[in-house]
Structure 1
Amino acid sequence: MTKRTLSIALALTLGIALSGCGKSEPDAAAHAEGAKAGHKAEFDHINAFNGDAARGERIAADKQLSGTGQACIDCHGPGGAKPIDVTYPVLAGQYQDYLFHAIKQYRDGGREHALMTNQIKGAADAGKLDDQGIADLAAYFAAQAGPLGDLHGK
């Protein structure tokens, strides 16, 4: 094979391989119809980094979030930096994706805790804590200054 033939063959092979990587998504109308029917979406639009910290701050302070009369900051402290009990985790400065996935697991039953499971599920059942709300909470707490740190730059 000549260099030119080899280059064309390589380009065609890569093109075919990459064409299989494209993601086909259902149209918006089908997705909306599935959501109305209570079906789980075929794909997630919201991830850990789609949060709005300003909205998350409002959610964290909402005493009616779960129907218990308690807000996130009532237990985890203002900004999530000073919990009222030493056994409660500091949320301020925690990794955003960790917070997102932990809260989702409480909501979806993959993680259990005597207090948090009821708080999160209560908020979700009341329609106040969907994936966007969880992403917003994660963005808010992750953006707060707190005592948490890592070993970067040490």
Structure 2
Amino acid sequence: MNHMFARLSLLGVAAALAALGTAHAADLKKGEDLVNQGGCIACHGAGLDKPVSPTYPIIAGQPESYLFHAMQQYQAKHQTPLYGRDNPIMAGMVARFDTQQLHDIAAYVSSLKSPLYEPDKARDPRP
């Protein structure tokens, strides 16, 4: 009986890990739609690579994990010296998005060509 319980437990853990792996699979098309709906181009430019102000960042082609965590930090209700970004414009822009949508947005924006650097093709095969 214990042997059967152990097998079932392992199967349960494996299923949970598999679900976690796919829970954040990003959708580039959804990300593009959300970027267009969100009005990101108003500040970051049509390709998200030509901001309207030199104080706004070029976000096209930035690492996906950086973009995702930056947007999460703008959503943080309790800003601390170690977590959060204090920008009321961005906080308002990303407030309406859930975690999956932030993943979709980050994946799409990361997929865009950046004028900041040429990616290392050996490590990053994006066109």
- Report the TM range for the smaller structure's normalisation: 0.5 to 0.7
Listed as ranges, the matches of 1:78-89 within 5 Å are: 78-89=46-57
Aligned length: 102
Deviation at 1:148, TM superposition (A): 2.4
Q: Indicate which of 74, 97, 105 corresponds to 2:73.
A: 105
Deviation at 1:149, TM superposition (A): 2.4
Q: Indicate which of 35, 39, 60 corresponds to 2:35.
A: 60
Secondary structure of 1:57's counterpart equals helix
CA distance in 2, matches of 1:140, 1:79: 11
Gaps of 5+ in 2: 1-9, 78-83, 122-127
Determine the structure 2 residue equivalent to 1:33: none
Listed as ranges, the matches of 1:24-103 within 5 Å are: 46-47=23-24, 50-62=25-37, 65=38, 71-103=39-71
Deviation at 1:108, TM superposition (A): 2.4
Determine the structure 1 residue equivalent to 2:89: 115
CA distance in 2, matches of 1:106, 1:23: 34
Give yes or no for contact 1:52–1:136 (8 Å, CA) kept in 2.
yes
- Taking structure 1 as reference, are residues 73 and 135 closer, same or farther at Cα in structure 2, changes over 3 Å only? same
- Give the alignment's TM-score, normalised by structure 2: 0.67
CA distance in 1, matches of 2:49, 2:89: 19
Gaps of 5+ in 1: 1-18, 29-42, 66-70, 124-128
CA distance in 2, matches of 1:151, 1:143: 11
Deviation at 1:79, TM superposition (A): 2.7
Deviation at 1:134, TM superposition (A): 0.4
Q: CA RMSD in A?
A: 2.7
Determine the structure 2 residue equivalent to 1:147: 115
Quick one: which amino acid aligns to residue 50 of structure 2?
Answer: K
Secondary structure of 2:56's counterpart equals coil
- Taking structure 1 as reference, are residues 44 and 104 closer, same or farther at Cα in structure 2, changes over 3 Å only? farther
Quote the sequence identity (%): 35
Quick one: which amino acid aligns to residue 113 of structure 1?
Answer: N
- Taking structure 1 as reference, are residues 24 and 145 closer, same or farther at Cα in structure 2, changes over 3 Å only? closer
CA distance in 2, matches of 1:140, 1:98: 13
- Taking structure 1 as reference, are residues 148 and 46 closer, same or farther at Cα in structure 2, changes over 3 Å only? farther
Dislocated runs of 4+, deviation >4 Å: 22-25, 43-47, 150-153
Quick one: which amino acid aligns to residue 87 of structure 2?
Answer: H
